[in-house]
Each structure stands twice: as C-alpha cells, then as structure tokens.
Structure 1
Amino acid sequence: MTTVQGFDLPRLAAVNASAAFNRLIGLEVVAAGDGEVELRMPWRDDFAQYAGHLHAGMIAALLDTACGFAAATIVGGVTASHFAMNCIRPAAGTGFVAKGTTVRAGCKQVFARADLFAESAAGETTLVATGETVLVPLGT
C-alpha cells in the first residue's frame, strides 16, 4: 500500500510556480497546511470584465485553485471532478485573497470549499464569491 503525504507550503509554492497560468496572473501561495490554504492575486486591469469588475472566469480560477491546494495539503496531488461557484457581489478591489478549506478527505474523493475576498486600498476585505469542489486524489 502506498502512503500519500500532503503537500507543505514549499511544495505548493513550487507547484504554483510550475503552472504557467498561475505565473501569468501573479498568484501567490501565502499560507498552507492542515487542509487549508490562502492565496493572493493582485488586481490588473486586463482581468476585468465589461463593467470593470474581476471576470467570473478569474473568480472561478482562484476558487478552484484554492480548493485544490487546500486538498493537496492533506492528500497530495488532486484533480477536480466537479466545481461550482456563487458570485455574491461584484469583485472589485486592489487585490484578491482566496481561502480554501478541506471539508472531507476520503480515499476516492476530497470535498473542499473556498471563499474569495476583495481587498480595498485601506486593507479591508469583502467576501465576493464562494466555491465548492469535488476532487480526485492522484496518488502523488
């Protein structure tokens, strides 16, 4: 039987750095461990949709990555099999923080959720979206 150990902060940072999309958007792994992760991404005008808010595709990417990285801290490599999100209010800010949490880590499925917060110039945060993901462990 193979024992899989979760990824620690340095390993998640390396995984993050190896993903071209994550590098492109400036995604940073701020904290990770024990089924939780915190990611940060700065605002850029080219992430905006037509009304000037963060595009829903970017919101989905942040939530999905936070869920996957949170799960990876427990079971190692994962891939998503289902993802859903809810946009609560327009995502506008100077940056964004995604906080992921593992809800349950089983042998064949991992359930995770994430919240996305917009940061203001004054340092205040506002919840803008939530997401949930079902992931499949890759055994790595």
Structure 2
Amino acid sequence: MTDLPPADFRERITRSFGRQRAMGLIGAQLTRVEHGTVEIELPFDEKLTQQHGFLHAGVISAALDSACGYAAYTVIDADASILTIEFKVNLMSPGRGDWFLFRGEVTKPGSNIIVADGRAYSITDGPAKLIASMTGTMMVVRGRQDVAG
C-alpha cells in the first residue's frame, strides 16, 4: 500500500456502496472503511440460505468480493475505479450464525492490478468463526465513463 491514503476515500466508498444494489438486496452494511481494509456485515436471513439452511455460498462470495474490491478502492486515486477480474473462494465451515462479518484487506497494491484477501466470519454468542476465505485480483480502471467511482 502507499504511505498516504487517497483523499476522501471513505466518502467515495460509502457513496459507491450505497449504489451497489446487490449488497442492499441482501441487507449488507458497510461497517468499517480504513486504508487497505474494509468490513461488511450481514444479518442472518433465511431468504439467503441454501437447502440445508446455511448462508448460501453465492452470498458469501458476493460479500467477500465487495469487501475485497472496496479494500482495493481505498488505495487508488480518486479518479479511478475498481473491477474484479478474478477470485477464488475457500468455504471452510457452514454459514451458520446470527451475523456475518466479511473483511477485505489489500495484500499487494499496484497501479494497475491489486490483490486482496478476504475472510468471512460467522458471529453468534461465542467467538467469531472463520467460515470462508477469498483471494481476489482487482483491476484499476481509469478514464471510462461507464466505470466511474
């Protein structure tokens, strides 16, 4: 990561997240935005489960992708944007809990390509439980009107 975060990245990410209808549809909330790290939280909802009652892998993947993408967004210039070009998810435990936390962290910043790692946790009465991890590759996009902020 660069030594200095881009100006106003928190405001830009908050505005962008508000326009992301997929995260709104599932009830996800942006809860932490720091230089190189973003967290998204999601309450359990039966409408987001698979046939066994666990949080669906697609929902987990989508939230991790957003957390990693926005983590990458914290280290780019204000006139650029981010698009995911690849990710891999490891599902390590069933998505069972009252709340879910998705944390994305920049692993390798770059001017064109950024790598971020994500972790998904289920939260109940006890300690948070790691349920999934992601490694994602993000492309920095500049000068495209259809992919702005």
TM-score by length of 1: 0.90
3-state SS of paired residue (1:10): helix
Report the alpha carbon displacement of residue 26 of structure 1 after superposing the two structures with TM. 1.3
Q: Cα–Cα, structure 1 residues 81 and 135, in superposed 2: closer, same or farther, change >3 Å?
A: same
Structure 1 residues 1-140: aligned runs within 5 Å: 5=6, 8-75=9-76, 76-120=80-124, 122=125, 124-139=127-142
Q: 1:129 to 1:48 in 2, by over 3 A?
A: same
Structure 1 residue 9: deviation in Å?
2.4
CA RMSD of aligned residues (A): 1.7
Structure 1 distance, partners of 2:26, 2:98, is: 14
- Sequence identity (%): 26
AA in 2 matched with 1:127: L
- Residues 50 and 22 (structure 1), Cα distance of their counterparts in 2 relative to 1, 3 Å cut: same
> How many residues matched?
136
TM-score after normalising by structure 2? 0.85
Structure 1: runs of 5+ lacking an equivalent: none
Structure 2 unaligned spans of 5+:
143-148
Structure 1 letter corresponding to 2:74: T
Tell me the SS of whatever aligns to 1:74: coil
Amino acid at match of 1:130: S
